[in-house]
A and B are shown apart, each in its own frame.
Chain A
Amino acid sequence: MSIGSAAPRPYLEVKDLTIRFETDDGIVQAVSGSSFSLEKGQTLGIVGESGSGKSVTSLGVLGLHRTRSNAKVTGEIWLDNEELITATDEKVRLLRGGKMAMIFQDPLSAMHPYFTVGSQIVEAYRVHHPGLNKKTAREKAIDMLARVGIPQPERRFSDYAHQFSGGMRQRAMIAMALVNDPQLLIADEPTTALDVTVQAQILDLIRDLQEEFGSAVIMITHDLGVVAELADDVLVMYGGKIIEKGPALDVFQNPQHPYTWGLLGSMPRLDREVRDRLTPVKGTPPSLINLPDGCAFHPRCPYAGRNGNRSFTDVPVLREAGAGGEHLVACHLPAEERTKIFQQEVLPNL
């Protein structure tokens, strides 16, 4: 590297991403100042409740808010050294489904009911390979169906989405997303609509394909088990903000934010004694139109008053959590106190 040149950018770098929607009820602050980055071959898990901004963030990366006239997106998104927010619609469109692709949550509603599964994959392939003849595209689609483990791909090519089982449908969806060898794959709760037995198969499939293609993967989920299994890094989102992020191992072994503790506490586990109840995070997620002052989590946080009353007035920023350089948390509690609470009050109940 020559003197003066910046360090090479990560494959995906999101800086200060803010997404808001103007609605009749007011401005929805869906994502506020999110920054994160991701290298090829790595997996980033984004966890949080419904409405925490995880899906909106990923749709923002794909530029899918551009068709919504009431959406306002600011910040920077760098994909392979190209900035996407200021790029033209046409440029982003060509990246979409090509360099970056997305797997959606419910494949039954995410696939068109009136077109065959095969033709939808062919369509995805041909739009990024103009001039390619139909026969070659068809062979490619059948090949992809086979690769994601769909038996009798030639026959299934002509079936409609409703004729597939849930797991097979998600496999077909993955085949469609991967048909153009995307370098960035975003999976938005890919296993939520599936049976537990099928979930593991789909996750294995995504992991295998990631190794094969070497892509960067963003795994959006509210299932911490999925993140623990697949992710290298984790973002925890709450009220449109990243409130904790770091290497997955650190975040799980030494979670820092009271909300993350809550998420861990609300996860059913088989390797523990049977308890009467899970411990849910009390209260409801905040309205994104009227976020609480200060820390958005304070109305639900059992420790909100412990450090003066700053949680009620000041918005906490992401700072080093204290344990290691890459583990960040947005919480007003001092590091020692957080560690103490976690060790003494939270861990014994997990």
Chain B
Amino acid sequence: MLAYLIRRLINAVVTLLVVTLVTFGVFFLVPKATGSDPALLYVGKQADPVAVEGIRTKLGLNDPIIVQYGKFLKGIVAGRDYSNGPDITHCSAPCLGYTFKTNQEVWPILIDALPVTISLAIGAAVLWVLMGVLFGVISALRRGSIWDRGVMTVALAGVSLPIYFTGLLALSIFVYGLKWLPNAEYTPFIDNPIKWFTGLILPWVTLAFLFAATYARLTRANMLETLGEDYIRTARAKGLRERTVIGKHGLRSGLTPLVTVFGLDVGALLGGAILTEAVFNLRGLGYWALQGIRQNDLPTILGVTLFAAFFIVIMNLIVDLLYGVIDPRVRLG
């Protein structure tokens, strides 16, 4: 088990390394190939050549790409110094560099954005799992009924409608129309839990609606399959109550496949829910990803990508470890 864990951890680190390599390659090689100069992005278009050359030296843009990548990795692990002659700027570990436009350290920006994204993702996740599983199970049990058809129709709508539609609709109804909720904004949980909650409720519901729809369909399909299994018939043949047959024997195997999907969905969301954060103006990782893309800000994009990859890899690892526990047929090692 320990050996397995260590192997998986090494695996995770290697995966992250590959992700940084690819991202670094894409974002630092492509501008070179297309002739645009990162240094120009940094100093502005009308800058004098001496300043541009200074920046180039400072950022190490004249170094071979592999050296640049090495410095980038070193920055994450041990911090790095940007120097242009006597002018030395120290960026302490973990260092993801500075934004081009505002010359801020990327790491603290993303760390500040993290609680927003985590709050959004976790809250929505709780909501969509509860809703999705509940509706999915009831639909499976009342297969073919009006209830089932109704839920599946709404679920289809949920899957098809994009966030920027449902989100804006929700905003215009509940915030601007009925004025039931304040405009969505992030208040740290420690500062004011109630404001944290009311500020996030609309983004949660909007995001959860999308996912709950998928989960309801998934749960329904899994439950229908499970309820047709021989061991469900055995459970009934033993004289168990229908409640036990469905609630224990049925759910146990009907929901197990959801764990994988859930882990990956949460992992992906933790890397930033770009559309939701944009619609509700929440400054999470997704917001900064969008900013980075809009402004051609390579360090920001690279940083967000790294965070996103990190969460996916971690959630993947957690799911795999969890599977060894919840499915006895999966032997670890």
User: Which residues on A are within 8 Å of B, measured CB to CB?
Assistant: 59, 62, 64, 67, 93-98, 101-102, 104, 106, 109-116, 123-124, 127-128, 160, 162, 176
Interface hit among B121-129, B162-170, B299-307, B322-330: B322-330
B239 lies within 8 A of A94 (CB): yes
Q: Which residue of B lies closest to A99 (CB)?
A: B239
Given known pairs A104-B230, A160-B328, A162-B329, the reply for A112 and B238 (CB within 8 Å) is no
Query: Digit string of B210-242 for contact with A (CB within 8 Å is 1, else 0)?
Result: 000000000000000000011101111111111
A62 lies within 8 A of B237 (CB): yes
A114 lies within 8 A of B237 (CB): no
Interface of A is mostly: mixed
Q: B241: shortest Cβ distance to chain A, in Å?
A: 7
Interface hit among B7-15, B88-96, B248-256: B248-256
Give 22 pairs: A residue, B residue, CB < 8 Å, sorted on A. A62-B237, A64-B237, A67-B242, A93-B240, A94-B239, A97-B237, A97-B239, A97-B240, A109-B229, A109-B231, A110-B231, A110-B234, A111-B231, A111-B234, A112-B234, A112-B253, A115-B249, A124-B238, A124-B239, A127-B241, A128-B239, A162-B329
In the assembled complex, which residues on chain A have CB atoms less than 8 Å from the CB atom of B329?
113, 160, 162
Q: How far apart sit A9 and B326, CA to CA, in the bound complex (Å)? A: 49
Query: Digit string of B251-288 for contact with A (CB within 8 Å is 1, else 0)?
Result: 01100100000000000000000000000000000000
Q: How far apart sit A200 and B121, CA to CA, in the bound complex (Å)? A: 58
A64 lies within 8 A of B239 (CB): no
In the assembled complex, which residues on chain B have CB atoms less than 8 Å from the CB atom of A115?
249, 252
Q: Which residue of A lies closest to B249 (CB)?
A: A112
Given known pairs A93-B241, A160-B329, the reply for A64 and B236 (CB within 8 Å) is yes
Q: Which residue of B lies closest to A90 (CB)?
A: B241
A113 lies within 8 A of B328 (CB): yes
A96 lies within 8 A of B238 (CB): yes
Q: Which residue of A lies closest to B234 (CB)?
A: A110
In the assembled complex, which residues on chain A have CB atoms less than 8 Å from the CB atom of B244?
127
Given known pairs A160-B328, A160-B329, the reply for A114 and B256 (CB within 8 Å) is yes
Q: How far apart sit A116 and B329, CA to CA, in the bound complex (Å)? A: 11
Q: How far apart sit A336 and B253, CA to CA, in the bound complex (Å)? A: 58
Q: A164: shortest Cβ distance to chain B, in Å?
A: 12
In the assembled complex, which residues on chain B have CB atoms less than 8 Å from the CB atom of A59?
233
In the assembled complex, which residues on chain B have CB atoms less than 8 Å from the CB atom of A106?
230
By Cβ-Cβ distance, the 10 closest A-B pairs, closest first, are: A97-B239, A97-B238, A96-B239, A109-B230, A124-B238, A112-B231, A110-B230, A160-B328, A110-B234, A102-B237
Q: B287: shortest Cβ distance to chain A, in Å?
A: 41
Known: A97-B238, A101-B237. 12 other contacts (CB 8 A): A64-B233, A97-B240, A102-B237, A109-B229, A110-B233, A110-B234, A111-B231, A112-B249, A112-B252, A113-B231, A127-B239, A128-B239
In the assembled complex, which residues on chain B have CB atoms less than 8 Å from the CB atom of A112?
231, 234-235, 249, 252-253
Q: How far apart sit A127 and B240, CA to CA, in the bound complex (Å)? A: 6
Q: Which residue of B lies closest to A114 (CB)?
A: B252
In the assembled complex, which residues on chain B have CB atoms less than 8 Å from the CB atom of A102?
237
Quick one: which of A106, A111, A113 has the most chain B CB within 10 A?
A: A113
Q: How far apart sit A35 and B211, CA to CA, in the bound complex (Å)? A: 53
Q: How far apart sit A64 and B327, CA to CA, in the bound complex (Å)? A: 28
Q: How far apart sit A94 and B241, CA to CA, in the bound complex (Å)? A: 9
Q: Which residue of B lies closest to A59 (CB)?
A: B233
Q: How far apart sit A98 and B242, CA to CA, in the bound complex (Å)? A: 16
Q: How far apart sit A310 and B294, CA to CA, in the bound complex (Å)? A: 86
In the assembled complex, which residues on chain A have CB atoms less than 8 Å from the CB atom of B242?
67
Q: How far apart sit A114 and B7, CA to CA, in the bound complex (Å)? A: 26
Q: How far apart sit A111 and B239, CA to CA, in the bound complex (Å)? A: 15
B238 lies within 8 A of A123 (CB): yes
Q: How far apart sit A110 and B236, CA to CA, in the bound complex (Å)? A: 11
Quick one: which of A64, A104, A110 has the most chain B CB within 10 A?
A: A110
Given known pairs A104-B230, A113-B329, the reply for A96 and B237 (CB within 8 Å) is yes
Quick one: which of B238, B252, B328 has the most chain A CB within 10 A?
A: B238
Q: Which residue of B lies closest to A97 (CB)?
A: B239
Contact partner of A98 (CB less than 8 A), chosen from B229, B236, B239, B253, is B239
Q: How far apart sit A115 and B329, CA to CA, in the bound complex (Å)? A: 11
